Amino acid sequence: MPEKIDFSKVSFLIVDTNPLSAQLVRDILGMLDVTAVRTATNIERAQNVLRRDGVDVVITEHALGDESGVDLIDWIRNAADSPDRMTPVIMLTANSAQNYVMTARDKGVSEFLAKPFTVEGLYRRLVSVIARPRSFVNIDDYFGPDRRRRQVPYDGPERRSSDG
Amino acid sequence: MAKRAQIIPPRPDLKRKAVNFSKGFDLKLTPEVLQKLETVVHKSQDKFTADIAERLTDMRRSIAQNAADASLHPYMIKALSDASREIKGAGGTIGFDLLTHIGKSLNDFLDGMSNLSARQLEVCTLHIDAMYVVLANRITGAGGAVEAELMRAFDEACAKFREVS
């Protein structure tokens, strides 16, 4: 029997300054039977929601007016007052140039999806963070999901504790 | 000396409460569910096109109000850049791929600029006019040969007149 996701059990926070864009994501989640959706238009409000209510998954834009969704990720992953450093974060953004992707990845984004997006692309990211979560890595200057998605041959010294 | 990396297994809480074998949606999207989800996007098309039209109007207004005064260019460029990024993100989502291409072209063109010459302003205006035409004629998808030629012309114009000021 195949695995299923009961999205009605999952709560979301959408962080986007564009109300239409946030509403579209909310409507898509609603079609998936999600009932617990919060929205925020800036980092401070997002932090308040996360501190007060806590959510299972954050979906954030990169461009948040004069702020950046990367700063929100940085706060979630590294701040002393972060309520949950391992909260899955999907970055859904029109800022899709490689430098944006790399910066988000290096701050600990769980999944990245460029706008314009397809519902299929969004669904795949939701499945990934809920049903196929990655291990986290904690090292000098990084705390976040394991950035090694592909298994490629590596001849250098093993530095990870799990590598023995 | 760098410390060894600590590997933390994924926390099972979320998976445990949401993943099961009886209720919910298959991990692989079925055609039926995909169709339902696409209906949601389709229903939002009118709101998005109205929003894009408003952004285009605002872009024209911003140029009309600020172009003559170079000290206002940073403000104008920020407005044009923000609007073009939003259009780039929204266009393709609701089926207007060409809007995304033109929005991206303008957004890339403005990247890093703080002032615009008369020629550069003209490049911006042409992008905005083209987006109006796409929207007014409801040209969905990437268009055909004419649209491909239009994008090639934009690429050339941007390359020719793009010098960070």
Residues of A in contact with B85 (CB under 8 A): 63, 94-95
B107 against B144, higher pLDDT: B107
> How many Å apart are CA B76 and CA B22, to the nearest integer?
54
DSSP-derived secondary structure letter, B5? B
Residues B27-44: tens digit of each pLDDT: 999 999 999 999 999 999
The pLDDT-based confidence of B1 (bands split at 50, 70, 90) is low
Neighbours of B26 (CB within 10 A): 12
Q: Do A137 and B6 touch (CB under 8 A)?
A: yes
> How many Å apart are CA B82 and CA B86, to the nearest integer?
6
What pLDDT tens digit does each residue of chain A (164 aa) get? 899 999 999 999 999 999 999 999 999 999 999 999 999 999 999 999 999 999 999 999 999 988 999 999 999 999 999 999 999 999 999 999 999 999 999 999 999 999 999 999 999 999 999 999 999 999 989 999 998 865 555 566 655 544 43
**Which residue matches tokens 């393709």?**
B92
Question: Is residue B143 predicted with pLDDT exceeding 90?
Answer: no
Residues of B in contact with A17 (CB under 8 A): none
Structure token pair of residue B151: 């994008």
Query: Nearest-CA residue of chain B relative to A131?
Result: B15
In a domain, B78, yes or no: yes
Residues of B in contact with A41 (CB under 8 A): none
Please report, rounded to a whole number, the percentage of residues in chain B having pLDDT higher than 70.
Answer: 96
Q: Do A5 and B25 touch (CB under 8 A)?
A: yes
> How many Å apart are CA B10 and CA A158, to the nearest integer?
21
Q: Do A120 and B11 touch (CB under 8 A)?
A: no
> How many Å apart are CA B99 and CA B128, to the nearest integer?
10
Q: Where does A7-142 sit in CATH, by number?
A: 3.40.50.2300
Q: What's the order of all strands across the beta sheet hosting B6-8?
A: A142-145, A136-139, B6-8
CATH number of the CATH domain containing B120: 1.20.120
Q: Do B15 and A130 touch (CB under 8 A)?
A: yes
Instruction: Give residue B58's pLDDT.
Output: 97
Torsion-angle region of residue A28: left (phi > 0), alpha (psi -120 to 50) or beta? alpha
Residues of A in contact with B9 (CB under 8 A): 135
Q: Do B25 and A32 touch (CB under 8 A)?
A: yes
Question: Is residue B165 predicted with pLDDT exceeding 80?
Answer: no
Instruction: Give residue A164's pLDDT.
Output: 38
The range of the structural domain enclosing residue B137 comes to: 46-161
Cα angle for residues A91, A129, A5 (degrees, 5° grid): 125
CA atoms within 13 A on the CB side of A133: 24
Tally C-beta pairs within 8 A across A and B: 157
DSSP-derived secondary structure letter, B10? P
In a domain, B30, yes or no: no
CB of B16 less than 8 A from some CB of A: no
Residue whose C-alpha is closest to residue A117's, from A90, A88, A93: A93
DSSP-derived secondary structure letter, B65? H
* A148: CB partners within 8 A, 6+ apart: none
Q: Do B86 and A4 touch (CB under 8 A)?
A: no
Per-residue DSSP letters for A108-144?
T-SEEEESS--HHHHHHHHHHHHHSPPPEEEETTEEE
Residues A123-133: tens digit of each pLDDT: 999 999 999 99
In a domain, B143, yes or no: yes
Q: Do B26 and A133 touch (CB under 8 A)?
A: no
CB of B147 less than 8 A from some CB of A: no
CB burial of A128-161 (b: ≥16 within 10 Å; e: otherwise) equals bbbeebbebbbbeebbbbeeeeeeeeeeeeeeee
Are A115 and A107 a contacting pair, CB within 8 Å?
Answer: no
Structure token pair of residue B15: 């998976």
Residue whose C-alpha is closest to residue A16's, from A63, A66, A76: A63
What is the total count of domains within chain B? Answer: 1
Query: Nearest-CA residue of chain A relative to B8?
Result: A136
> How many Å apart are CA A73 and CA A111, to the nearest integer?
12
